[in-house]
Structure 1
Amino acid sequence: MNCLYQTKRIFDLKEKMLSSKRYASIEQARIITRVYQENEKLSLPKKRALSLKAALEELEISVEDEELIVGNRTKGVRYGVVFPESGCSWINQEFETLPTRPQDQFLVKEEDIKEFREKIYPYWKGKSLEDAIKGTYGIEINEISKVVKINQKDHAQGHICPDSALWLKLGPQGLMEKAKKKLKNCKDEQKEFYECTILVLEGAVHFMQRYHDLIESEKIESLKEVGKICMK
């Protein structure tokens, strides 16, 4: 098989991705901040679960006619997302330089910078994972960084290895039913974990339903089968 061959569908999708303007999006940051502010008395796991659920239910979505797999973290094809709960001092310092920095450039809307600095950053300053790491290991990290390179020591990041096979086998609805059964018989100290799991999966189910509804409402014939899959 010629690995250089591309179907017209793939070619068109690639062209859209490469030609689309890239913006830094604060939409998710706005939602997460609001949910945290509305639920100050709840535990951190509950606030994280509720904020992710809200994001899945409220984020603007879109589909391209050529897509066979839908779902994105922003309406824009190549937007970058700000995660204030992880760390936001760096983005606060670098907003104006994002469009012109040597690599990984993003356009930024002036109104987004204003909203971030007036409403989002003040809430998270001192409360993010970045701040927790600095408060606990900041001195040690700074000392170590004098002799070895530490990638992104000024803000937090993480990676996960999800069980994709189980997700594809059960889907969010199946996983939610499994979590509900566990919740009925688990120990008291495990209840919050399963409650949060159910909240997040409810958001995932709603997220998929929203794509189905969007495809149906826009009457995109080429995506009818994709819309049906979103409801399974």
Structure 2
Amino acid sequence: MKDSLFAENRVVSLERGWLYMESYKETEGEPVVIRRAKALRHLLENHEIVIDDYDLLAGNRTAKPRAGVISLEMSPYWIDDELDVFPTRPQDTFDISDEDKAYFREVLLPFWSGQSLNDWYQAHIDEEVAEAERQAAVTEMLAACKQRGTHTAIESTLALSLDDPEALVAACDVFLIDFKIADRERSLEVVVHGE
């Protein structure tokens, strides 16, 4: 079973992106929370299900084992930035066909640009938070929050240079974050609460 799981290189799966796109096209004008719920339903009803002979538990998030699932509704931009280096990047390498790259750039990226969670965040960010990001005081923390979505709780300890603690507090307020400064100059304990 393990040999068959690792027999092929990992690939990028665009299935979630185009199924979510199909649903979002059908639900335009509806409240975001309803659109997200209907998109999930559409995904669950239309996702390709593969049951292999060796499976003890049937089903997977993708048709290919260990494929990379991309959540374009969160942010399509980092994917576009890394699309050509997925097979060679130092972490989590994935193969992606030229055909899939073209589909991503010609269909999925134009559709999701301007309506992802990252776009909403950028449109609503407070200037103090934006300045803190520019100073890189909270970039790692905010990137983790944005990448994982607002429904996931994250606990981590970050070593940060706290040049502007008030901007850091403002950034934390945006994501409902509690923090304790352990060493006022170097470290910060962060707990992120979901919505």
Does the TM-score normalized on the shorter chain lie above 0.5?
yes
Partner deviation per Cα, 1:13-36 (whole Å, 9 max, x = no partner): x22222222110111100111110
The offset of 1:148, in angstroms, is 4.8
Partner deviation per Cα, 1:165-191 (whole Å, 9 max, x = no partner): xxxxxxxxxxxxxxxxxxxxxxxxxxx
Residue 175 of structure 2 aligns with which residue? none
| Change over 3 Å in CA distance of 1:125–1:61 after alignment to 2 | same
Residue 89 of structure 2 aligns with which residue? 101
Aligned match of 1:143 in 106, 109, 132?
Answer: 132
Alignment of 1:37-186 (within 5 A): 37-137=25-125, 139=127, 140-141=129-130, 143-144=132-133, 146-148=136-138, 150-151=140-141, 153=143, 155-158=146-149, 160=152
Question: What's the C-alpha RMSD, in Å, of the aligned pairs?
Answer: 2.2
Q: Which amino acid aligns with 1:71?
A: G
Query: How far apart are the structure 1 equivalents of 2:126 and 2:100?
Result: 30
The offset of 1:70, in angstroms, is 1.5
Q: Which amino acid aligns with 2:5?
A: M
Higher relative contact order (CA 8 A, sep 6+): 1
Query: How far apart are the structure 1 equivalents of 2:53 and 2:126?
Result: 48
**2:4 is the alignment partner of 1:16:** yes
- Whether the aligned pair in 2 keeps the contact of 1:85 and 1:128 (CA below 8 Å) is yes
Unaligned runs of 5+ in 1: 1-11, 162-232
Query: How far apart are the structure 1 equivalents of 2:47 and 2:101?
Result: 19
SS at 2:140 equivalent: coil
Q: Which amino acid aligns with 1:126?
A: G
Residue 229 of structure 1 aligns with which residue? none
Q: Which amino acid aligns with 1:147?
A: A
Query: How far apart are the structure 2 equivalents of 1:32 and 1:118?
Result: 16
Query: How far apart are the structure 2 equivalents of 1:99 and 1:113?
Result: 12
Higher strand share: 2
Q: Which amino acid aligns with 1:30?
A: W
Query: How far apart are the structure 2 equivalents of 1:21 and 1:152?
Result: 31
Percent identity over the alignment is: 32
SS at 1:96 equivalent: coil
Unaligned runs of 5+ in 2: 154-195
SS at 1:108 equivalent: coil
| Change over 3 Å in CA distance of 1:136–1:41 after alignment to 2 | closer
Q: Which amino acid aligns with 2:132?
A: E
Q: Size of the alignment, in residue pairs?
A: 149
| Change over 3 Å in CA distance of 1:111–1:138 after alignment to 2 | farther
**Larger Rg, first or second structure (1 or 2):** 1
* TM-score (norm. length: structure 2): 0.68
Query: How far apart are the structure 1 equivalents of 2:44 and 2:96?
Result: 23
- Whether the aligned pair in 1 keeps the contact of 2:12 and 2:68 (CA below 8 Å) is yes
Aligned match of 1:32 in 7, 13, 20?
Answer: 20
Partner deviation per Cα, 1:121-152 (whole Å, 9 max, x = no partner): 11111111111122222751552452355157
Q: Which amino acid aligns with 1:50?
A: K
